[in-house]
């Protein structure tokens, strides 16, 4: 057997960027002849996700572009520092490809690959690409996207766009709901409502659910709650649940999300691109509360794909806390009481799911590397 070639992934800073990298990397690592390394951000979420999986990673110092001269200067300094370090890492290995997955780390690493003549690919799972991904797409041999509509966002660029769906980690191939029930002490006789703000948590969702806890008491004989708060909010939310009548488990983070989704009957959560893909992959009806502060409202657009198909309902994350809680309660009360509606939503999820995305992307990248060897 010859020496392994390395495929680098570049991106991170949020679960929405690091999880697709992990999903495709896991498929490549299962194949002889290739090694994988991830160039990620210095944010804690990247290390939190990657360390337990045993995937090699290097954190680059790149930072997001902010307003003001000082933040712009820092962005430029860290961009070029990341570019130089990526050049050294890539030049020291037999690199088959570099795959951008979004975020401020992707651009300097993919620029380094381009300058070194290394093939660049891009995974873009949001319905609308950000500025970094549009830049990387100019250098990419192929762009893999989750939604059909995303093709339009790249139509002015000379890049090949393939609709694959969102790549999901291997645990989503065969989730184990019994494991989640055991680890979290869930009562198998009760339905389970999952509340989550994704990898970093969502304070607005946390507050809305805490506000409606007295009303959830009406469902205490048939439902239980698993509430994932995010590390920053755990103590505050745990205090909010003090004395709650409905059975509950409040945790900061959970690694085996596929198992937990499969153990639940309904989810209240954000609608990042990876989150909505995970909901539909597990056939889980959802109440989506899109993050409201993105200028392009891409989380709302992600959720709308599910809502239009009948797999989700959307509750706007409005500024007023009481109004936000009331809007959530109106939709939640309906779905907690109506098992037929939940079953219809679950069926709609299965029509949207694209379970083979990670394998398809991995095979395309590896085939590209093999073709380069034959050229």
Q: Supply angle C-alpha 7, 145, 291, rounded to 5.
A: 110
Per-residue confidence (pLDDT) for residue 304, from 0 to 100 = 96
Sign of the torsion angle spanned by Cα atoms 190, 195, 199, 200: negative
344 and 359 belong to one structural domain: no
State the pLDDT at residue 2.
Answer: 60
**What is the DSSP code (8-state) at residue 166?**
-
* pLDDT for the residue 199: 76
User: 10 Å Cβ neighbour count for 44?
Assistant: 11
Q: Residue 167 in contact with residue 23, Cβ under 8 Å?
A: yes
Q: List the CATH number of the domain containing 24.
A: 3.40.50.2000
Q: Tell me, yes or no, whether 157 and 193 share the same domain.
A: no
Q: What is the pLDDT of residue 370?
A: 67
pLDDT at 71: 87
| Nearest-angstrom CA–CA distance, 333 and 355 | 31
Separation CA 13–CA 21 (nearest Å): 12
Residues of the chain with pLDDT under 50: 1, 374-375
Same domain (yes/no): 222, 298: yes
CA 230/CA 20 separation, integer angstroms: 20
Same domain (yes/no): 198, 147: no
pLDDT at 29: 94
Quick one: pLDDT at residue 372? Answer: 58
Both 80 and 135 in one domain: the answer is yes
Which residue, among 142, 169, 173, 164, has the nearest Cα to 360 in the 3D structure? 164
Instruction: Write the CB contacts of 69 (distance below 8 Å, at least 6 apart in sequence).
Output: none
Question: Would you list the DSSP string of 48-116?
Answer: HHHGGGT--EEE-------SSHHHHHHHHHHHHHHHHHHHHHHHTS-EEEEEEEESTTHHHHHHHHHHT
Same domain, 87 and 232: no
228 lies in which domain range? Answer: 174-352
Does one domain contain both 123 and 71? Answer: yes
Cα dihedral 147, 157, 18, 205 sign: negative
Does 216 lie in the same domain as 71? Answer: no
Q: Coil, helix or strand for 258?
A: helix
CA–CA gap between residue 112 and residue 89 (Å, rounded): 10
Q: Are residues 370 and 345 in the same domain?
A: no
**pTM, 2 dp:** 0.92
The total number of structural domains in the chain stands at: 2
Q: Is the dihedral of CA 364, 368, 373, 374 positive or negative?
A: positive
């Amino acid at each position: 057997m010859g020496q392994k070639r390395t495929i680098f992934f570049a991106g991170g800073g949020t679960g929405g960027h690091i999880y697709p990298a992990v999903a495709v990397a896991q498929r490549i690592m299962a194949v002889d002849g290739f090694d994988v390394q991830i160039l990620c951000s210095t944010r804690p979420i990247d290390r939190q996700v990657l360390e337990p999986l045993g995937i090699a990673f290097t954190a680059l110092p790149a930072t997001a572009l902010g307003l003001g001269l000082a933040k712009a200067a820092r962005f430029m300094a860290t961009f070029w520092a990341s570019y130089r370090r990526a050049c050294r890492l890539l030049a020291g290995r037999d690199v088959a490809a570099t795959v951008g997955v979004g975020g401020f780390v992707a651009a300097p690493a993919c620029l380094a690959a381009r300058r070194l003549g290394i093939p660049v690919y891009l995974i873009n799972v949001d319905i609308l690409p950000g500025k970094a991904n549009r830049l990387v797409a100019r250098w990419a041999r192929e762009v893999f996207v989750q939604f059909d509509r995303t093709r339009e966002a790249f139509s002015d660029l000379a890049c090949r766009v393939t609709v694959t769906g969102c790549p999901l980690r291997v645990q989503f191939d065969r989730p184990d709901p019994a494991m989640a029930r055991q680890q979290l002490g869930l009562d198998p006789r009760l339905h389970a409502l999952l509340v989550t703000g994704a990898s970093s948590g969502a304070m607005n969702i946390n507050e809305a659910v805490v506000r409606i806890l007295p009303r959830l008491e009406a469902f205490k004989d048939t439902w239980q709650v698993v509430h994932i708060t995010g590390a920053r909010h755990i103590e505050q939310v745990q205090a909010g649940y003090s004395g709650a009548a409905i059975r509950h488990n409040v945790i900061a983070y959970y690694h085996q999300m596929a198992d937990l989704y499969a153990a639940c009957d309904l989810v209240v959560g954000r609608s990042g691109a990876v989150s909505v893909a995970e909901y539909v992959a597990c056939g889980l009806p959802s109440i989506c509360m899109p993050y409201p502060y993105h200028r392009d409202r891409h989380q709302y657009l992600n959720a709308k794909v599910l809502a239009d198909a009948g797999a989700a309902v959307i509750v706007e994350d409005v500024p007023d806390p009481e109004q936000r809680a009331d809007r959530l309660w109106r939709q939640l009360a309906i779905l907690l009481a109506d098992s037929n509606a939940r079953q219809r939503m679950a069926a709609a999820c299965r029509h949207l799911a694209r379970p083979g995305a990670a394998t398809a992307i991995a095979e395309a990248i590896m085939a590209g590397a093999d073709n380069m060897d034959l050229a």
